[in-house]
Amino acid sequence: MRGVALTPRVRWSCPNCDCRSTSREARPHSQMHTCPGLGGILAPLVPEGMRCKVEAIEREDAVGSEQGIRFDEHGRAIMAVRTMRDDGYDTAVFAPSATMTRDEAEDSGLARVLRERMRRIQEAVNRGR
Ligand SMILES: [Zn+2]
C-alpha cells in the first residue's frame, strides 16, 4: 500500500504586485516578501483568490534614534503592514528597539532590575532540572 501525501499545497499571491508562491506545509504558516507595490516593505502574501487589501501603515510619531525602523523606498517610516479581509484583519508590526549605554542602564536602575529578573529566571530553570 502506498502512502498518500496529506500536506496541502497553498498558492499565494500579492494584491499589490505580481509576486506568486506555492507552499506545502501542514501547519499554519504565512509567506512574506519584499513588496515592490508597497515601496519595498516586507509584506505578507495571501492565499490566492482571497478578497483582501494589504496596506503599509506609516508611523505617525517622531522618528528618533531607535534601531530597526523600516523605511519604504519613498523614505517613509512604516510601522506595520495590515491585511484587511472581509472577516477581520491581521497586522504585522515592525517594532523598533531603543538603545542605551551600560552607564545609562546603571544610572537609571534598569540594569539592577534586569539582573534581578535574570536571577529569577535562572532559579526557575534550575528548579525545573
Ligand atoms: Zn507584493
Domain boundaries, the chain: 9-98, 100-129
Distance 82 CA to ligand 1 centre (A): 13
pTM above 0.85, yes or no: no
Residue 58 pLDDT > 90: yes
Residues with CB under 5 A from ligand 1 (ion): 14, 16-17, 19, 35, 37
Per-residue confidence (pLDDT) for residue 86, from 0 to 100:
93
Distance 65 CA to ligand 1 centre (A): 29
Distance 27 CA to ligand 1 centre (A): 23
Confidence of residue 1 (pLDDT cuts 50, 70, 90): low
State the SS3 of the chain: CCCCCCCCEEEEECCCCCCEEEEECCCCCCCEEEEHHHCCEEEECEECCCCEEEEEEECCCCCCCCECCEECCCCCEEEEEEEEECCEEEEEECCCECCCCHHHHHHHCHHHHHHHHHHHHHHHHHHHC
Distance 3 CA to ligand 1 centre (A): 36
